[in-house]
Amino acid sequence: MKILIHRHAGQLIDILSIGGDSIPVGSLNCISAFWYLAKEYPEELILWCEERIYKDLNLEEINKIFHHDLIMASYAVYSEYLPRAVGYIDHMPYVNVNRNVSYGTWFMSTDVGGIKGNTLLKFKHFFSKESDFGFLLNSIAKIGLENGLFCYSVPSLIVNREIPLVKKINADNSDLFRFVYSHYTTIWTTILFFCFISKEKNIPIKSYISAFFNSKKFKKEIDLRDLPIKSTQLSQLSNNIDVILPTIGRTEQVKQVLNDLRNQSLTPYQVILIEQKPGEDHTSDLQGLVKEKWPFQLVHIFTQRTGVCYARNLGLEKVISDWVFLCDDDNRIASSVLSDALSEIRRLGVNMINTAYRQPDENIIFKKIKQWGTFGAGNSIVKSEFLENVRFSNTFEHGYGEDKDFGMQLRNRGCDIIYDPFLEITHLKAPMGGFRIKKVFKWEAESPQPKPSPTVMALILKYYTLEQRYGYKLSMFLKFYRKQTIKNPIAYFKIMNKSWDKSLYWGKYLLDQS
């Protein structure tokens, strides 16, 4: 381990080995020393640390934090690099960081952090001329996260300190526009400019124009396959796994799923089957299946109340195993999926995993293991300890967004969401798919209709920063302009504002009712 101690992300103060010995590097600046250490010590962890934070560096936790070679982590103690204005054009969960837990994000701070030397060298080709340490760290994480680098904000990097209130932003408008142009599709640079004009009452014309003279890094490929992941974390948990399987009106599909689970090389401990059938006089259609002999405990719950959130929550109340598989009733599951998934979770040192989840005629689009910006409620395996007090919110019942909300609850408890394309479950999308029970919402009589859907608005209100909300609104307005008949932009924005306000009203209503 080598520790690069700097002052204000520019001046190199010292480089220390783990024993405290200083390493002479001449008159190098902070970034030059960073690359030098990666080249000279590729098998070691390279830490960076602001000089006034060094005494609080939590060396005892370092091995636990960096438990495999493809981890980059930092923590903002006094300063962050990018301003919250980046939320105008980035609406992913990585932007609104929960600093109280280990949280998956590409937001990096120059205050304290680390990355393995040979991992850092993978990025030198793109950034060897970069002179801004904060820009460099955030760029590495931004590209790296899409290519399989695991990036985190980790409060345990420091000791004996309450979660501080970050007061300093290092990047100015020029840095922000340069970053957005480099790492996003070009249109977002213009949207950011309009957000500054309309929301910030600022016209950063120089920053906007100069951004276009920088090189693009968007969707750059970094091959990290020769840096194999093998976590040093040792799991004390068993392989016991419970399956939560909600269903409504799909007897044949449920039988197929149960048979797939019967044939697993790792047999589930429990399969919790929640059957929904509305109507006071209705009885179960699955008694024949329930009476069959299964190699697992089949817990059958029958309810006349509908709603997948309600059904899954009934299942969560019955969980007793160390792991939970959230499963849909029209899945096809190869015999090794559960066993392979738990092996992958241990290899990666993570707490959950989302499998690939394609329909029979679809191709897999994302082909790298990586941190995931969403969550799949029909193809996830999660460590049970993170599900305590986590439930599917009835705010989103019969609507959209319950899976994203569930994923955000996990993130805010320190459970990162990981996607693994090498684990695959097929989603048949059976003909009776979707919500199957049509609910008439109170806002369906509104004119104009709320836009976005009030359940989507509830998700925005619950998890987006103010900048993300405004950016989402503006980008949605621009997106739908080409798809409607009102070509007068003033009239169009007037009607869209009415639709937005109605969505805002009903979104708040849903949250108040939950």
Same domain, 421 and 447: no
Distance in angstroms (rounded) separating the CA atoms of residues 452 and 504 = 9
**Number of domains composing the chain:** 3
Scanning the structure block, which residue is given the tokens 């090389």?
265
The three state secondary structure string of 256-275 is HHHHHHHCCCCCCCEEEEEE
Q: Give the end of a domain, one of 427, 455, 476.
A: 427
In a domain, 358, yes or no: yes
> CATH code at 342?
3.90.550.10
Distance in angstroms (rounded) separating the CA atoms of residues 457 and 452 = 6
CB 396 within 8 A of CB 405: yes
Distance in angstroms (rounded) separating the CA atoms of residues 431 and 434 = 9
Same domain, 41 and 136: yes
Report the SS3 class of residue 17.
Answer: strand
Distance in angstroms (rounded) separating the CA atoms of residues 495 and 449 = 10
Q: What is the pTM (predicted TM-score) of this model?
A: 0.94
- How many other C-beta atoms can be found within 10 angstroms of the C-beta atom of residue 232? 10
Same domain, 267 and 355: yes
Same domain, 72 and 95: yes
CA 383-384-386 angle, 5° bins: 80
In a domain, 419, yes or no: yes
- Residue type at 190? T
Q: Write the DSSP symbol of residue 196.
A: I
Same domain, 120 and 257: no
Distance in angstroms (rounded) separating the CA atoms of residues 16 and 134 = 21
For 112, the token pair is 């304290």
For 451, the token pair is 């836009």
Q: Give the end of a domain, one of 148, 170, 192.
A: 170
CB 183 within 8 A of CB 120: no
Q: Give the end of a domain, one of 152, 170, 188.
A: 170
> Taking the chain (514 residues) in consecutive chunks of 10 residues, what is each chunk's mean pLDDT?
95 90 88 96 97 94 97 96 97 96 98 98 95 98 97 94 78 98 97 96 97 94 94 91 95 96 98 91 90 97 94 98 97 98 97 96 92 96 96 93 97 98 93 61 91 96 98 94 88 95 97 89
In a domain, 280, yes or no: yes
For 14, the token pair is 């010292």
pLDDT score recorded for residue 178: 98
In a domain, 183, yes or no: no
Same domain, 251 and 365: yes
Same domain, 447 and 422: no
Same domain, 351 and 419: yes
pLDDT score recorded for residue 435: 47
In a domain, 491, yes or no: yes
Same domain, 152 and 261: no
pLDDT score recorded for residue 243: 98
Same domain, 283 and 379: yes
Same domain, 157 and 265: no
Distance in angstroms (rounded) separating the CA atoms of residues 154 and 191 = 31
Distance in angstroms (rounded) separating the CA atoms of residues 466 and 200 = 12
pLDDT score recorded for residue 487: 86
In a domain, 68, yes or no: yes
Show the domain range for 285.
241-427
CB 103 within 8 A of CB 411: yes
pLDDT score recorded for residue 432: 57
Distance in angstroms (rounded) separating the CA atoms of residues 252 and 271 = 17
In a domain, 229, yes or no: no
Same domain, 275 and 420: yes
In a domain, 359, yes or no: yes
Cα radius of gyration (the chain) = 25
Report the SS3 class of residue 371.
Answer: strand
